[in-house]
Amino acid sequence: MLNKYARAFFTRVLTPFAAFLIRRGVSPDTVTLIGTAGVMAGALVFYPRGEFFWGTVVITLFVFSDLVDGNMARQLGRSSRWGAFLDSTLDRVADGAIFGGFALWYAGQGNDNVLCAVSIFCLASGQVVSYTKARGESIGLPVAVNGLVERAERLVISLVAAGFAGLHKFGVPGIQWLLPIALWIVAAGSLVTLIQRVVTVRRESAEAEAAAGAAQGSEAAQ
């Protein structure tokens, strides 16, 4: 739902900014690299110190580069396999930095090994969820399922919760519990999504092999 509606809305909003960058000679790949660096800085500088509000502000400013670079490529008519590869690869790096930042906080000053483990699970499961789709498609399967919690949902749930949890340092009581709740939700949702994709690949693989066997049998009969 977020991919379908929110992405379309922000793409329209950011189109003038993308056009401005093109006029200044900035390339889509440069925007991708700067955006990833900004997300990593926000996550790995602020989150391990418990500065969740300011860390989320920084990350949010840079995370929109994921929409700007693609918009620029379309305006330039230069969408390429390399650009898609770079964007997808650096998305995984940025996601790892965000959940790695949470894990570092809970392993250190946050002093909660369980939530540290949950953060690491969110990091790892997010990578594997993406891998299952990419791997299934690479062997010729459509992987016709999105799943309960995709990247957009993982980021929105985690970043919104982290931003609000950071208001605890400004005197808002009890709100710090939003982040642990969000991490458990993301962990559970990622597990469900992973299962959905594995089941889908298994079904599609069986269907493809059955179709191939039937085709071979038909050719042999002829």
Task: For residues 40 and 174, give the distance between their C-alpha atoms in angstroms, rounded to a whole number.
Answer: 28
Tokens (6 digits) for 88: 């997808």
Single out the catalytic residue among 52, 55, 56, 91. 91
Look at the alpha carbons of 200, 205, 206, 208 in this order and tell me if their dihedral is positive or negative. Answer: positive
Report the run of H or E that residue 59 belongs to, with start and end. Answer: helix 52-63
95 known member of a binding site: no
154 known member of a binding site: no
138 known member of a binding site: no
Which residue, chain included where needed, has tokens 């995370």?
63
Q: Are 63 and 116 in contact (CB under 8 A)?
A: no
149 known member of a binding site: no
91 classed as catalytic: yes
Which residue, chain included where needed, has tokens 């620029």?
72
200 known member of a binding site: no
70 known member of a binding site: yes
Beta-carbon neighbour count of residue 8 at 10 Å?
11
Q: Which residues are annotated as a binding site?
A: 29-32, 66, 69-70, 74, 80, 87, 91
Residues marked active site are found at 91
Q: Which residues are annotated as a binding site for Mg(2+)?
A: 66, 69, 87, 91
